[in-house]
Amino acid sequence: MITYLVTGGAGFIGSNFIHYMFEKYGDDIRIINVDALTYAGNPENLKSVAGRENYSFIKADIRNSDEINKIFAENDIDRVVHFAAESHVDRSIKNPGIFVETNVLGTCVMLNAARAAWENEDGSYKEGKKFLHVSTDEVYGSLSDPKDYFYETTPYSPHSPYSASKASSDMLVKSYVDTYHFPANITNCSNNYGPYQFPEKLIPLMINNALTGKKMPVYGDGKNVRDWLYVADHCKGIDMVINKGRMGETYNIGGHNEKQNIDIVNIIIDTLLEILPEDDERRKNVSKELITYVEDRKGHDRRYAIAPDKIKSELGWEPDTKFEDGIKKTIKWYLENEEWFKNVTSGDYLKYYEKMYKV
């Protein structure tokens, strides 16, 4: 039985990955979920798997080397899938220090613990071990030419404290591959969307605000372009890379779904009006009059677009979900899980929202 250590598994992509892996492999794998349960980590995301004998949760901080080394000492870890990170650009602008601590120092702690557990005396590594570092397309910066795409060979040019911290963690992983021949891969993905996403991010934020009749804040002119990837397709790509990816290689995972932010907002409104029954009380709140343009984000990158050619040609990965289907599935999930929404948008989230968007 292969044992996976998933960091940040109570977060958005991490929890979706755990669900994906159990749906695919069932009892043939074991998953240990390590999460510090900061604001975006939610145990409710994994209620349906919490009772499995081949699943365990450990509350631990990846910055704490004693805690992480103890986990490796007590478990024979085969694969590390490293999601744990501070990930919201707006928060990184307000408090860059915590992004450096978690994303850079935390990754270093994870690398050192895995290396200590896996390395043989002659510098080789135990068979079947692999460390997969999950990163972002934001490390590449911004594209000005509409014909350009991010490739694995694109030079890094991060523009926010968040993307700079992720670029730094990528470089750490690369250095361990080059220096210690450490068995690792890196994946750089485009914007994910789907169930369990914390509503500071664009799509769940807009769904929540539309349903509750709150203003829908759009940065600048709303024409910033992002490439959107349904989270289950991303999970499929990660599974392929950690099992079949060439050692030491980086793989870009993107959806070929470029959309302007304002188009996303309009699609959400139109889809809600399409899906919500006429007698649903929430329907009366949904209106394009809620769209409110706010001061642009500092250092706001204009366009991201990933070319997933390498992962397609080497591993056969392609996204299964068209955006028009994925956004409907996502909206339906949030409509059917209103209690989850209420639980995560109470307390500190409200203070953060009011401070950030001032609408």
Q: Of 35, 78, 86, 137, which is the active-site residue?
A: 137
CA distance 338 to 156: 39
pTM over 0.85: yes
Based on its alpha-carbon atoms, the radius of gyration of the chain, rounded to whole angstroms, reads 20
**339 is annotated as an active-site residue:** no
Q: Of 138, 170, 200, 227, which is the active-site residue?
A: 138
**138 is annotated as an active-site residue:** yes
Which domains can be identified in the chain, with CATH numbers?
Answer: 2-190+230-256+299-322 (3.40.50.720)
Q: Of 149, 162, 176, 353, which is the active-site residue?
A: 162
Tokens representing 64 are: 């704490």
Which pLDDT belongs to residue 354? 57
Q: Determine the average pLDDT of the residues in 20-36.
A: 97
Which pLDDT belongs to residue 279? 94
Which pLDDT belongs to residue 146? 86
Q: How many Å is the maximal CA-CA distance in the chain? A: 70
Q: Give the closest residue to 19 by CA, choosing from 47, 39, 40, 42.
A: 47
Which pLDDT belongs to residue 87? 84
Residue scoring higher pLDDT (261 or 88): 261
Alpha carbon distances (Å) from 320 to 117, 137, 174, 237, 326: 36, 20, 30, 11, 10
Which pLDDT belongs to residue 351? 55
Which pLDDT belongs to residue 349? 43
Q: Has residue 249 got a pLDDT over 90?
A: yes
**23 is annotated as an active-site residue:** no
Residue scoring higher pLDDT (338 or 280): 280
pLDDT tens digits for range 281-329: 999 999 999 999 999 888 888 999 999 999 999 999 999 999 999 999 9
Residue scoring higher pLDDT (71 or 354): 71
Which residues contact residue 114 at a Cβ distance below 8 angstroms, ignoring those fewer than 6 apart? 72, 77, 80, 129, 131, 182
